Amino acid sequence: MAGQGGARAFAAGVVLAAALAVAGAAHAGNQKEEALADSVRLALSNAINDARPPKPVFRDEVGRLRYQGWFNEMSGRLKKRIPDDISRTEFLEAAWYESTRAGLDPGLVLGLIQVESAYRKYAVSIAGARGYMQVMPFWTKVIGDSDRRKLFHMQTNLRYGCAILRMYIDMERGNLYLALGRYNGSRGKPQYPNAVLSAWKKWEFAPAAVAAR
């Protein structure tokens, strides 16, 4: 009886895991490998291979204060998802750095991560996309060093994801809706872009509201 019970529990666990995997992969990234111009491939490769640490640098005190306000606000919102203070600090520093470096709103990137992986560092989609921003492994061959394991490294994953999203935005001439569709491999379909745009609203930052508290 104990063996049968264990077998039933194991089977139930497998079914549950499969259900969770499907649910978690509903919006997971499935970027398509496309023919890229040499200049685009070179620009992406240079962006990925930049070895500078993800530490925010500011031109003036206003910029530093804005970042500090953003960091404090986002750290509070993210605490339930990333409880460890050090891990959360490192994540937010990297998210800000890689987002702004790619010319993206950090709130957009945080919203995309919420939809893509629910902030799970080691998330893997049914299609094989990996990490926070659900980057497809083929990108490591196209613009990286072919080491797929690095997509589970926080900064590397964010760097790939931000650089790829920036490329898609440029390809779509600033049309974020279509660019998000490309990122998800579902260009022209509304479900994914709408999910990310909705999540983005949850991660927006209003400096005046923070300063007034």
CATH of the domain at 138: 1.10.530.10
What pLDDT, on a 0 to 100 scale, did the predictor assign at position 58?
86
Sign of the dihedral defined by the CA atoms of residues 24, 27, 33, 38, in that order: negative
CA 47 – CA 29 distance, rounded (Å): 20
- Is 144's pLDDT higher than 70? yes
Contact 162, 139 (CB under 8 A): no
- Number of domains comprising the chain: 1
* Amino acid in the structure at residue 180: L
Give the mean pLDDT of 92-101. 95
The whole domain housing 151 covers 2-211
CB 130 within 8 A of CB 150: no
Cβ 54 vs Cβ 94: under 8 Å = yes
pLDDT, average across residues 13-39: 53
Average pLDDT, the chain: 84
| pTM, rounded to two decimals | 0.80
Number of helices and strands in the chain (H, E): 10, 0
Give the mean model confidence (pLDDT) for residues 44-65. 84
pLDDT at 48 over 60: yes
